Amino acid sequence: MKKVLIVRYGEIALKGLNKSYFEKKLMKHIQANLMDLGKLRVHQGGGLVYVDMDGYDEDEVIERVIKVFGIVSVSPAYGFEKDLDVIYEAALEHMKKRMKEDTIKTFKVESRRGDKSFKMKSPEISRMVGGYVLEHSKDLKVDIHNPDLMLYVDIRDKAYIYSKKIAGHGGLPLGTNGKALILLSGGIDSPVAAWMMAKRGMNIEAVHYHSYPFTSERAKEKVIDLARILAKYCGNIRIHCVNLLPIQKEINEKCPEEEMTILSRRFMMKIAEKVAENRECNALVTGESLGQVASQTIQGLTVTNDAVDLPVFRPLIALDKVDIIDISKRINTYETSILPHEDCCTVFLPRRPVTKPRLDKMLKSESNLDVQRLVEEAVENIEVIHVSIEE
């Protein structure tokens, strides 16, 4: 018997003539996430992907594989020859093992016959295997409605026995839907937004704004730490670090105080667009949620949208803060995001920021600034940091 991980995918199965392209991307990302563990064989057949796990730590393999977007569930299983006597013994052995791990009093067998040449049909396989397990396990009973454990028998190229289905994140494999540039802060929202767009198959790069020396090096390290967590899902991430302080100083000197946040946001978008164009990104991504803060009113979003021509994706736009926090905890960014380090938005923070900005007024204030020069200087002085999936 061989220990294998059965990997199932969802939307990929609906891709018709493009299905093989998505399957190859999925296999590539599974292999990339397992690369530093050794040479695990990853192969496919019958609409499933298999990872041979003999000699490897099962929990570690599962933890890495379920981070790959496109996967809906995985099952640690045993694969062996399609012989009834072998199937009976394997099922019994598996049940005994699970009974040692958990309190199991009832079970149900569910079978699938992918190989139609196998002599028994699925219902008969379930009855025969269930009967054999019952005969050799005095403390077990069958419960077809609410069993403590589901025992699965899958007849394909081999026979497979398993009893766990561990949920993945779904979505589409990375790199199947272009590339986007995320405006990545050290807060809770933007890492979740990056994760959500990567889940839809987008490769991710990041631009991060700081106001050094008004903000500390540790604040920047916090963002790098977040990128390291995201890289486990999103692959290698390039971070473009921009010092926004020269722009903030000019806005503070030449524009009304209450407009600082919105005008700074417009500059962030303009700089991000330049970076995105240089890096051949197809869109910008932000962590904004409608009405969450003063700059995220519908009027504020309209004014910041006007600053760029690229499409701006806001995957969190309709989520409550509690929904965003729940996702951040699930993907392990929350504890890093709440570390108490300042960001550039706290510099020159207005006492009463405008919440319903008018575009004509913002453009009039912006005309007091040499916008092109400020954007070009910011882009010229970018620091690039590479975060690897293996870190």
Residues 249, 253, 256, 257: what is their CA dihedral angle, to the nearest 10 degrees?
A: 50
- 45 assigned binding-site residue: no
Backbone angles phi, psi at 332, to 5 degrees: 70, 25
- 183 assigned binding-site residue: yes
- 218 assigned binding-site residue: no
Cα separation, 225 vs 128, whole angstroms = 53
Residue 218 burial (C-beta neighbours within 10 Å; 0-12, 13-18, 19+): exposed
Cα separation, 267 vs 284, whole angstroms = 14
- 130 assigned binding-site residue: no
> Side chain identity at 160, as an amino acid letter?
Y
- 208 assigned binding-site residue: yes
> Side chain identity at 325, as an amino acid letter?
I
- 114 assigned binding-site residue: no
Closest to 361 measured CA to CA, from 248, 268, 255, 269: 255
- 136 assigned binding-site residue: no
Cα separation, 384 vs 109, whole angstroms = 55
Peptide bond just before 191 cis, omega within 30 deg:
no
* Helix pair angle (245-254, 371-380), 10° resolution: 160
CB atoms within 10 A of CB 120: 16
Cα separation, 356 vs 294, whole angstroms = 8
Is 82 in contact with 125 (CB distance < 8 Å)?
no
Strand 203-210 to strand 159-162: parallel, antiparallel, or no bridges (unpaired)?
Answer: unpaired
Is 223 in contact with 231 (CB distance < 8 Å)?
no
Instruction: Please give the annotated binding residues, written as ranges.
Output: 183-184, 208-209, 265, 287, 296
Residue numbers in the known binding site for ATP are 183-184, 208-209, 265, 287, 296
